[in-house]
């Protein structure tokens, strides 16, 4: 897997997470004016490995 940092057509910074077969499994969902903010977002995703998985099908709306 790798994180790819790039600029979109509007000039904003974005990231995507690409797996070995070339598929994108996650992306920033928003553009960032500053590269540093985009890199910070990547860091947050990397640090989220300890986040719990919640089965929302068992949650009451």
Q: Average pLDDT, whole number, for the chain?
A: 92
Query: Which residues 6+ apart lie within 8 Å of 39 measured at CB?
Result: 5
Q: What is the mean pLDDT of residues 33-41?
A: 97
Which pLDDT band holds residue 21 (cuts at 50, 70, 90)?
Answer: very high
Q: What is the mean pLDDT of residues 7-19?
A: 96
Q: What is the mean pLDDT of residues 26-52?
A: 93
Q: What is the mean pLDDT of residues 25-42?
A: 96
pLDDT score, position 61:
60
CATH entry, 2-47, from 3.50.50.60, 3.30.160.160, 3.10.20.30, 3.40.309.10 = 3.30.160.160
């Amino acid at each position: 897997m790798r994180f790819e940092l790039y600029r979109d057509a509007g000039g904003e910074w974005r990231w995507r997470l690409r797996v070995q077969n070339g598929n994108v499994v996650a992306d920033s969902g928003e553009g960032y004016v500053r590269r540093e903010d985009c890199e910070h977002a990547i860091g947050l995703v990397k640090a989220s490995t300890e986040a719990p998985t919640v089965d929302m099908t068992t949650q009451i709306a």
